[in-house]
Structure 1
Amino acid sequence: MKHTWRWFGPKDLVSIDDVCQAGAKGIVSALHHIDNGEIWSPQEIQTRQQAIAVRKDNSASGLTWDVVESVPVSEDIKKQDGQWHTHIQNYNQTLTNLAAAGIETVCYNFMPILDWTRTDLRWELPNGGTCMRFDLTDFALFDIHLLKRPGAAEDYPEQIVEACTRKHRSLSDEQLKQLQTSIVCGLPGANQELTIDDVRALLSQYDAIDADRLRKHHHQFLEMVAPHAQSLGMRLCCHPDDPPFSLLGLPRVVSTEADYQAMLEAVDVHANGVTLCSGSLGARADNDLPGMMRRLGSRVHFLHMRNVTRDNDDLPCSFYEAEHLAGSTDMVALIGAALDEEQRRRDAGQSDWQIPMRPDHGQDILDDLGRRTQPGYPSIGRLKGLAELRGVETALASLKQTVVA
Structure 2
Amino acid sequence: MRQTWRWFGPHDLTSIDDILQSGAEGVVSALHHIPYGAVWTPEEIARRHREVGTRRDGSPSGLAWEVVESLPVSEDIKKQTGDWRTHIANYQTSLRHLAEAGIEVICYNFMPVLDWTRTDLHWRLPHGGTCMRFDLNDFAAYDIHILARPGAADDYPATVVEEAARRFARMDDAAQKRIAGNVTMGLPGSTESMSLEDVRTHLAQYGAISPDQLRSHFIAFLEQVVPVAEKLGLRLCCHPDDPPFPLLGLPRIMSTGDDLRQILQAVDSPSNGMTLCSGSLGARPDNDLPAIMRALGDRVHFLHLRNTRREGEAVMASFYEAEHLGGDTDMVALIAAIFEEERRRKAAGRADWQIPMRPDHGQDILDDLGRKAQPGYPTIGRMKGLAELRGIMTALDHASVRYSTGT
Q: For the superposition of Structure 1 and Structure 2, which TM-score range results when normalised by the shorter chain?
A: over 0.9
Using the TM superposition, name which of 98-107 and 370-379 deviates more.
370-379
Q: Following TM superposition, by how much is the alpha carbon of 1:58 offset from its aligned partner in structure 2, in angstroms?
A: 1.5
Gaps of 5+ in 2: none
Does the residue aligned with 1:81 lie in a helix, a strand or coil? Answer: coil
Q: Following TM superposition, by how much is the alpha carbon of 1:404 offset from its aligned partner in structure 2, in angstroms?
A: 5.2
Contact 1:113-1:188 at 8 Å conserved across structures: no
Q: Following TM superposition, by how much is the alpha carbon of 1:194 offset from its aligned partner in structure 2, in angstroms?
A: 2.5
* Structure 2 counterparts to residues 5-404 of structure 1, below 5 A: 5-187=5-187, 191=191, 193-398=193-398, 399-401=401-403, 403=405
Mark the CA change 1:133 to 1:192 in structure 2 (over 3 Å): closer, same or farther.
closer
User: Could you tell me which amino acid in structure 1 is paired with residue 30 of structure 2?
Assistant: A
Q: Following TM superposition, by how much is the alpha carbon of 1:207 offset from its aligned partner in structure 2, in angstroms?
A: 1.2
Q: Provide runs of 4+ in structure 1 moved above 6 Å.
A: none
Q: Following TM superposition, by how much is the alpha carbon of 1:400 offset from its aligned partner in structure 2, in angstroms?
A: 1.0
Q: Following TM superposition, by how much is the alpha carbon of 1:165 offset from its aligned partner in structure 2, in angstroms?
A: 0.3
User: Could you tell me which amino acid in structure 1 is paired with residue 200 of structure 2?
Assistant: R
CA distance in 2, matches of 1:160, 1:403: 47
Does the residue aligned with 2:260 lie in a helix, a strand or coil? Answer: helix
CA distance in 1, matches of 2:197, 2:175: 19
Q: Following TM superposition, by how much is the alpha carbon of 1:191 offset from its aligned partner in structure 2, in angstroms?
A: 4.8
CA distance in 2, matches of 1:127, 1:251: 37
Q: Following TM superposition, by how much is the alpha carbon of 1:184 offset from its aligned partner in structure 2, in angstroms?
A: 1.1
CA distance in 1, matches of 2:271, 2:77: 19
CA distance in 2, matches of 1:401, 1:62: 34
CA distance in 2, matches of 1:166, 1:148: 15
CA distance in 2, matches of 1:233, 1:189: 27
Aligned to 1:3: 3
> Normalising to structure 1: TM-score of the pair?
0.98
Q: Following TM superposition, by how much is the alpha carbon of 1:188 offset from its aligned partner in structure 2, in angstroms?
A: 8.0
CA distance in 2, matches of 1:260, 1:194: 29
CA distance in 1, matches of 2:156, 2:404: 51
Contact 2:8-2:189 at 8 Å conserved across structures: no
Percent identity for Structure 1 against Structure 2: 62
Contact 1:79-1:214 at 8 Å conserved across structures: yes
CA distance in 2, matches of 1:235, 1:185: 28
Per-residue CA deviation, residues 163-198 of structure 1 (Å, 9 max, x unaligned), is 010111112211111111101111589755522112
Gaps of 5+ in 1: none
User: Could you tell me which amino acid in structure 2 is paired with residue 231 of structure 1?
Assistant: K
CA distance in 2, matches of 1:189, 1:280: 18
Mark the CA change 1:322 to 1:189 in structure 2 (over 3 Å): closer, same or farther.
closer
Work out the number of aligned pairs and report it. 405
Q: Following TM superposition, by how much is the alpha carbon of 1:403 offset from its aligned partner in structure 2, in angstroms?
A: 4.8
Does the residue aligned with 2:246 lie in a helix, a strand or coil? Answer: coil
Contact 2:133-2:321 at 8 Å conserved across structures: yes
Q: Following TM superposition, by how much is the alpha carbon of 1:370 offset from its aligned partner in structure 2, in angstroms?
A: 2.1
Contact 1:184-1:190 at 8 Å conserved across structures: no
User: Could you tell me which amino acid in structure 2 is paired with residue 33 of structure 1?
Assistant: H
> Normalising to structure 2: TM-score of the pair?
0.98
Does the residue aligned with 1:214 lie in a helix, a strand or coil? Answer: helix
